[in-house]
Amino acid sequence: MKNPLAGCMAYQALKEYSKNGDNYCKQLLSILQQRTSLEITYGKGLEKLANKLAKMLTKIKVSYIHRTSLCVSEELKSESDLHRKLGKAIQTEAINPMNRILQDHEKKKKTVDNTVEKAAEAVTSNWRQQLKAKKKLKELTKDHEALFRDTESSHPLASPKSKKKFLRNLEKSAIKLAKEDEDYYKKNLTACETRVKWEQTLENGHQSILDLEKDRLLLLCNTLHRYSQLLSHFGQSLIACHEKVHSVVAEAEADKDVQMLVNEMSVTAAETKLELLLTDYYEEDMMSLIEKERRQTAIKAKITRVQTDLEKALQDKTGLERMLQAYKETPQFSDAKNINDTIAQLNEATLKAALLQANHFKLGSALAEIEKKPKPTHFCNDCISKWKEKDCLHSSVTIICPITMKSVKQNLKMKNTGESGISSNCLPETGSSTNSTTSLQPENSESRTCRAVYDYHAEREDELCLSKGDVIVIHHKDKSGWWYGSRKGKQGNFPATYVEEVTLATDRSNDEPSL
């Protein structure tokens, strides 16, 4: 059957356009809803970071950088609130109104579609009824004409009774035919009414949907306009937060924090104590079952080995000090890396010399006990401690590493400037290089005299030249490892690692093992 509604495509085209518009609005709502969720989630994440930073800052001492970081934490909290407010505003002022209006439009469109479908169904039904009535009328007309021909042909020969019967049948057929014809005619006329009604309904529906589409477009425009306003307000608030952070950061002065750090280092980090294990041998245990001669020979061999390594360590230390002096005198041939490496090597050499010196003293004391001689005296005696652990005796030495403010300032300066050239002020004084390296320091010492165990050549005017065996009167002991004293009427500084403290009796004894 031919479609009676095939020619009316305007409404269907508008309906398809409206359907696409609805899909677009639904997708837009979905995107805005996702944006809302992301903003709220991001705001919660920023709040966690802000709380984490604030908690971390409670463990840090107040400083300029601390105050700046605290401002950053507050900015994170403010930005977190802005993001969550933006998400809620989009939900309240854009998504919810648009969703309500679209739901109302959907109800109205459904009502219009139902009305148009009913009118279209009426037109289609009338079309089918006309075709059915036409077919029936055609069959009745065909039968009536056949009956009429039969009546005419049999009329001359038929009896009056038969004629009467034929005429009665013909009359009934004519009445039925007239009735069907009238019904078919009325259906045909009704088609005009249903068609016009459908056209009117279609026109009204078209106009209704067109009005709804206009409202939808205005709604989209207003929603996007409101979304733009929210973003603009959010951006302004965010810029205000950033400007606040920028102003606080601009006022931060790293130099003051560096100075504060230097001041704290000079007070709280004046020195660092290191504890190193000393070598403990079975031969040193006087309770062990070893013959006296074998014990004495073994300990002397170990003393000789330590003495050799100690002399080499002191030579290495002297060479490194001279290298630093060369860097100071010729800064154009040095850089920060070479200086730092040399200082690290000097620290290691001095630490090694101090450890070997303590081991030498401990072995010398054991040998003196075996030989029934007075034990040697040395300032490292007060730095050595012994303890027993699991039926085993352990020995350790406490070494003090002074950190002078001069070296701290120099290191900070070298890190901050980043210059390739090295000035002489950035180099430590080689004559007092042990100020930044390692030394042994007794806690209490009553001796005021010491004896040189190694030769030392002074490199500065305020230093003493030492020869092995020289006796020096101690005037002052410094924790840096440099002592002040007098020798042969001349006063000056000398390294504590090159001497051993002696009493008058010790100074006169020649049988005592020396370093």
Residue-level pLDDT at 402:
46
User: What is the DSSP secondary structure assignment for residue 283, as one 8-state letter?
Assistant: G
The torsion angles phi and psi of 502, rounded to 5 degrees, stand at: -135, 155
Please tell me the distance from the alpha carbon of residue 15 to that of residue 8, in angstroms, as a whole number.
12
| Nearest 10 degrees: Cα torsion 329, 334, 338, 340 | 60
Q: Which tens digits make up the pLDDT trace of 210-255?
A: 999 999 899 999 989 999 999 999 999 989 888 888 888 787 777 7
* C-beta of residue 95 within 8 angstroms of C-beta of residue 33: yes
Distance CA 43, CA 432 (A): 58
Give the residue among 407, 300, 417, 279 at the shortest CA–CA distance from 346: 407
Among the residue ranges 65-79, 359-373, 387-401, 431-445, the one predicted with the least confidence is 431-445
In this structure, the strands spanning 449-452 and 471-477 are antiparallel
- Strand pairing category for 271-277 and 449-452: unpaired
Label residue 290 by pLDDT band (50, 70, 90): confident
Q: pLDDT tens-digit profile of 79-88?
A: 999 999 999 9
Residue 160 has what pLDDT?
78
Q: Name every residue whose Cβ is closer than 8 Å to that of residue 400 and which is 6 or more positions away in sequence.
A: 271, 272, 273, 274, 438, 439, 440, 441, 479
Phi and psi at residue 395, to the nearest 5°: -130, 145
Q: Which residues contact 95 (CB under 8 A, 6 or more apart)?
A: 29, 32, 33, 36
Full-prediction pTM beyond 0.75? no
Confidence of residue 379 (pLDDT cuts 50, 70, 90): low
Q: What is the pLDDT of residue 153?
A: 78
In the prediction, which pLDDT does 480 show? Answer: 67
pLDDT at 63: 66
Alpha carbons within 13 angstroms on the beta-carbon side of residue 274 total 18
Angle, to 10 degrees, between the axis of helix 96-154 and the axis of helix 10-57? 160
Determine the average pLDDT of the residues in 331-358.
83
CB burial readout 214-233, b (16+ within 10 A) else e: eebeebeeebeebbeebeee
Does residue 183 register a pLDDT over 90? no
pLDDT reported for residue 265: 64
* Whole-number pLDDT of residue 305: 92
Mean pLDDT of 172-190: 87
Kindly state the tokens that stand for 109: 């469109």
Mean pLDDT of 450-460: 84
CB under 8 Å to 98, separation ≥6 — which residues? 25, 28, 29, 219, 220, 223
| Burial group, residue 342, by CB count within 10 angstroms (0-12, 13-18, 19+) | buried
Q: Which of 134-138, 220-224, 261-265, 392-396 has the lowest mean pLDDT?
A: 261-265
Lowest mean pLDDT among 133-137, 203-207, 511-515: 511-515
Q: Which residue has the higher pLDDT, 161 or 48?
A: 48
Q: Quick check: 64 pLDDT over 50?
A: yes
pLDDT at 28: 92
The pLDDT of residue 440 is 46
Tell the burial category of 418 from Cβ atoms under 10 Å away from its Cβ (0-12, 13-18, 19+).
Answer: exposed
**Token pair in block for residue 354:** 């101090």
> What is the mean pLDDT of the segment spanning 451-467?
84
- What share of the chain has pLDDT > 70, as a percent? 81
- Tell me, what's the pLDDT at 6? 67
Q: What is the pLDDT of residues 408-445, one digit of tens each?
A: 444 444 444 443 333 333 333 444 333 333 444 443 43
DSSP β-ladder status, 271-277 and 384-389: unpaired
Q: What is the pLDDT of residue 387?
A: 79
**Location of structure tokens 């027993």:** 388
Confidence category of residue 264, pLDDT binned at 50, 70, 90 = low
**Residue-averaged pLDDT of the chain:** 78
Q: What is the pLDDT of residue 405?
A: 39
Bigger pLDDT: 340 or 504? 340
Return the number of other C-beta atoms located less than 10 Å from residue 92's C-beta.
11
Residue ranges of alpha helices (H) inside 371-511 are 405-417, 504-508
pLDDT of 401 reads 62
- Rounded mean pLDDT, 489-497: 83
